[in-house]
Amino acid sequence: MTTRVLTGVTTTGTPHLGNYVGAIRPAIEASRKADVDAFFFLADYHALIKCDDPARIERSRIEIAATWLAAGLDPERVTFYRQSDVPEITELNWLLTCVTAKGQMNRAHAYKASTDINEAAGEDPDHGVTMGLFCYPILMAADILMFNAHKIPVGRDQIQHIEMARDVAARFNHTFGQGRELFVLPEAHIEEHVATLPGLDGRKMSKSYDNTIPLFEGGAKAIKDAIARIVTDSKLPGEPKDPDNSHLVTIYEAFASAGEVAAFRAALMAGLGWGEAKQQLVQLIEREIAPMRARYEALMANPEQIEELLQIGAQKARAIATPFLTELRHAVGLRRFNAIAKPADHAEKAKAALPLFKQYREADGRFYFKLTSHDGRVLLQSAAFDAGRDAGQWVGKLKKEGAAALNDAPVSLGDGIAHADVAAALALLAAE
């Protein structure tokens, strides 16, 4: 089974080397796995929460798009789009807002951090807090649930948001699903083996510490200049250095093979000067980044090309979002009036008399489904599933493929039911 993995990047800044090592590179690697169906999007609605400078929003969106493409994201393979090109996401945002407890949003870390600062400063707790910031986690839940993503690779600061998305999904399923799981419950995925890259001063590389190494901005020279500013101890060339106590080595390790790391460490212990070590680090980083920089510059010189790729991505995303949203609108009661059942309407009665799939959960905590005939006889009974999603997928497959899917489906025929009865019932459903 493929896992749907979804990643969003808020488009407020310009990517630096720490973003590349900590997020971009591992995400692109993961997207190449055969069993992964990857979704990448530019969270540009989220950007509006943090930034009211249109020029910066515009610049950041294109820079981030070009960066991911230059770093090897394959838009043919993954679904790559801008959040603001998929209006279904904001519509879903509202449906979710209506089932989200305000008290839960009061406890969101990002919001709490703002009110804590205000309180410490003797201000009104909500001073400067927009409704966008307050509702941030709901929009994020909409991003995730719109595509029924299973796995969300995030940093630790985002775990609470994924938990909130799960809660909202569960509440929506419970309220409107009528036993069906409309939404998959997403899980946060923390990349344990990806180290955070230290910045020039040894603290985590971050724009707010002003200790970053640029990725593409300013070209090779900017990388070289930043590396020249990496803080080291004052040992002279010829003096042995301690590689375990140098963040320059940690940065080196993020780009080198095991053999190169061993040689570099040995050279430092043998007295390699810091100036020379920095030159080697520049070369090492350039080996990986220079070819990407060339692609980045070509893309930035050609915005129409990026636009076209993102338009194709939006189409792919909407091919999923549009029908799903129709289903969700129906589930909450926003239905076309001509779909309302009229008691005297024979066609509607006939519809009500169709065979029916039911998904449910037993006291054993496991998930099941069954197919019943119009008069309530059990035609098919499923085995137990650990995940409701799996039960749902079999139902989908049986509906779509009919009797052909019966061979490998984990189901048994009801008492006194023949294979042909089931095949006929499935055919009736398929004709619907």
Q: What angle do CA 358, 353, 368 make, to 5 degrees?
A: 10
Question: Of 6 and 254, which has the nearer Cβ to ligand TRP?
Answer: 6
Strand order in the sheet with 411-413: 356-361, 367-372, 378-382, 411-413
**SS3 (DSSP) at 378:** strand
The one among 28, 96, 108, 144 contacting ligand TRP by CB under 6 A: 144
* DSSP code of residue 16: B
User: Residue 3 CB, nearest distance to ligand TRP (Å)?
Assistant: 15
Is residue 422 at the binding interface for ligand TRP, with CB under 6 A as the rule? no
Query: Across the chain, which distance is largest between two alpha carbons, in Å?
Result: 96
Among 84, 158, 173, 359, binds ligand TRP (CB under 6 A): 158
Of 8, 13, 75, 313, the one binding ligand TRP by CB under 6 A: 8
Rule CB under 6 A: is residue 93 a binding residue for ligand TRP? no
Q: What share of the chain is helix, strand, coil (3-state, %, to 5)?
A: 55, 10, 35
Closer residue to ligand TRP (CB): 143 or 253: 143
Nearer to ligand TRP, 36 or 405 (CB): 36
With contact defined as beta carbons under 8 Å apart, do 80 and 40 qualify? Answer: yes
Q: For the range 197-204, what are the long-range contacts, defined as Cβ-Cβ under 8 Å and sequence gap of 24 or more?
A: 197/17, 197/18, 197/21, 197/22, 197/250, 197/251, 197/254, 198/247, 198/250, 198/251, 199/18, 199/247, 200/226, 200/229, 200/230, 200/231, 201/231, 202/231, 202/247, 204/18
- Taking CB under 6 A as the criterion, the residue among 4, 10, 183, 284 binding ligand TRP is 10
In the complex, which residue's CB is closest to ligand TRP? 8
Interaction between residue 184 and ligand TRP (CB under 6 A): no
Nearer to ligand TRP, 169 or 425 (CB): 169
Distance CA(24)–CA(63), nearest Å, equals: 13
Candidates 64-72, 93-101, 152-160, 273-281; binding stretch for ligand TRP (CB under 6 A) = 152-160
Rounded to a whole number of angstroms, the minimum distance from the CB of residue 64 to ligand TRP is 11
For ligand TRP, the binding residues in 43-62 under the rule CB under 6 A are 43, 46
**18 near ligand TRP, judged by CB under 6 A:** no
**Residue 380 phi, psi dihedral angles, 5° rounding:** -135, 145
Nearer Cβ to ligand TRP, position 20 or 252? 20
Nearer to ligand TRP, 159 or 383 (CB): 159
User: Whose structure tokens read 């997207």?
Assistant: 31
Which whole-number Å values give the CA distances from 166 to 2, 221, 385, 399, in the listed order? 20, 45, 20, 27
Provide the residue count of the chain.
432
Comparison of 143 and 181: residue with beta carbon closer to ligand TRP: 143
In this chain, which stretch among 111-119, 120-128, 140-148, 250-258 interacts with ligand TRP, using CB under 6 A? 140-148
Size of the site for ligand TRP (CB under 6 A): 12
Report the interface residues with ligand TRP, using CB under 6 A.
6-8, 10, 43, 46, 140, 143-144, 152, 154, 158
